Chains A and B, each alone.
Chain A
Amino acid sequence: MYVTRDISDTMTAVTAEQKPAVTAVQLTKRYGSRLVLNKLSLTVEWGEFLTVFGLNGSGKTTLIRILATLVKPTSGDLDVATFSAKGNPSNIRREVGVVTHQPLLYRDLTTRENLRFHGKMFAMNNIDLRIERVGDMLGIKSNMQIKVGTLSHGMQKRVAIARAIMHDPSILLLDEPETGLDRDGISMLKKIVAGERGIRTVIMTTHNLDYGLELATRATILSEGSIAYDKQMSAICKDEFREVYSRFTGATN
């Protein structure tokens, strides 16, 4: 019988160590003469839903990629899911699910084949059972036998999310998940991501103020590679944030 793990389990396990979900200290990423992340420090506690706003080029995608261990920072320390990024990155990868602009799927494989493959790569038990569950959750069951390349963009996104949560990670990273979705797609996305709240720690980058603020427990703005604004949603109101946000996006335009 497969039981969904929720945050309280992880929290009990972790309380003894008192380590947050993500601890980033002075993260810097430099590509040649281009500085993308500039001494960025960030701590994310278990159960938080952190939305990261920022203009293109502010470093949002790079931040997500570093948290996912796809990219190594030029300098700085990083702990994700209590594991140090300097140790064996496999430990982190097991605990992290990532949704990026690209669906990261093989076009010529069916939905089921894609999900099965990822299940094998994560050395999961009960792969088929798990596929049934995420299939139900994300409404992709009817597309299981269809090649992913022929699916609509919105449907592909659902499969991508299924892929990301299939191995039940404790942290979910979303990089502008609304890219390429129409209005219906975005409301579908909102529903799905809202469902992840409380189950996983979520860090999401987005341009969409609407659902970005609605889902968040904490909102930050990234500007030129470091955090320019960081408030708990309980401490501010949405209008306040919109004002601050337009200042950042307006002023630098």
Chain B
Amino acid sequence: MIVFWSTVGAILAKDLVLEFRNKETITSILSFSLLSLIVLNFALRPTPSLISVVAPGILWVAFTFSGILGLNRAFAVEEDQDAIQGLLLTPASREAIYLGKMLGCLLFMLVAEIILLPIFAVLFDMAPFKPMLMVVMFMATLGFASVGTLFSALAMNTKSREIMLPMLFIPIVVPIIIAAVVGTDLAFKGGGWQEISKWIQLMLVFDLIAVVFCAFGFDYVAED
């Protein structure tokens, strides 16, 4: 048990150090999010009355597509010098490797999202810093990270991997996208926890199933 968690910790620490050194993942997620916000502003031309309707959607389009970018990088770092083989040669359990990578992805995506929020607030004149939104963001990003880490490992060995990851990823996380947008909408409108509870439950169930399934699925993906 201790070995399991120390393995997870070692991988997470390693990814954090690597990210801290070259900062590629967080900056690419952040840049792409910002670009998405700008494009969506021109695309939707939100008037002050329209903004409250489209704001949740804008946020989550930005997060979804930039998240995919970030996830692509998750295993790109392992590809360099075939480092993934080094990982697979260790007696570490595949579930531990998965969990370590997944927590790294989760962290990077969350940091980028948190940094983007004030930018979003300024560009669209909104006040998004509500606890409900934080909960929604965390649970949705967890869903993204858990599914995305598995599919990123899968896509790494595929031709056209840039399109394979979104093709695999987006249909599967549709429930998360829907729940995140509805939840964000409720958060912005100052809705009650009662209203949002079933969406939180949906995300919770999704996240639980996703983490368990992907941890064991990773075993099959990492084999050869």
Contact = CB atoms under 8 A, between A and B. Distances in A.
Q: Do chains A and B touch in the complex (CB under 8 A)?
A: yes
Contacts of B17: 109, 113
Interface in A92-108: 93-94, 96, 98, 100, 102-108
A118 B86 contact: yes
Contact of B85 (A90, A100, A106, A109): A100
A3 interface: no
A117 B90 CA distance: 11
A222 interface: no
B86 A163 contact: yes
A71 interface: yes
B93 interface: yes
Contact of B81 (A71, A98, A105, A123): A105
Given A70-B89, A118-B86, A109 B14 contact: yes
Nearest to B3: A123
A107 B22 CA distance: 11
Contacts of B14: 106, 109, 113, 117
Interface residues of A, number: 28
Contact of A70 (B21, B77, B85): B85
Given A108-B21, A113-B17, A102 B91 contact: no
B89 A117 contact: no
Contacts of B121: none
Nearest to A88: B91
B153 to A, nearest CB: 15
A174 to B, nearest CB: 13
If over half of A's interface residues share one DSSP class (helix, strand or loop), that class is named, otherwise mixed; here it is loop
Nearest to A90: B91
B87 interface: yes
B17 to A, nearest CB: 7
Counting chain B CB atoms within 10 Å of each CB, which of A72, A91, A122 scores highest?
A122
B221 to A, nearest CB: 14
A5 interface: no
Given A109-B18, A117-B10, A121-B7, A68 B89 contact: yes
A103 B18 CA distance: 17
A91 B89 contact: no
Interface in A62-116: 68-72, 90-91, 93-94, 96, 98, 100, 102-109, 113
A105 B18 CA distance: 12
B195 interface: no
B81 A93 contact: no
A72 B223 contact: yes
B27 interface: no
B88 A105 contact: no
Nearest to B9: A120
Interface string B73-95: 00001001111011111111100
Contacts of B158: none
Contacts of B77: 106
B6 interface: yes
Residue of B11, B90, B92 with most partner-chain A CB within 10 A: B90
A91 B80 contact: no
B91 A94 contact: yes
Given A72-B224, A109-B18, A121 B81 contact: no
Contacts of A107: 80-81
Contact of A104 (B21, B82, B92, B93): B82
Q: Which 7 A-B pairs have the closest CB atoms?
A: A104-B86, A120-B10, A90-B91, A121-B90, A102-B82, A93-B91, A108-B21
Given A103-B81, A108-B21, 9 more contacts: A68-B89, A93-B89, A93-B90, A98-B89, A100-B85, A102-B85, A104-B82, A106-B80, A113-B17
11 contacts: A93-B89, A96-B89, A104-B89, A105-B81, A105-B86, A106-B14, A108-B21, A109-B17, A117-B14, A118-B90, A121-B10
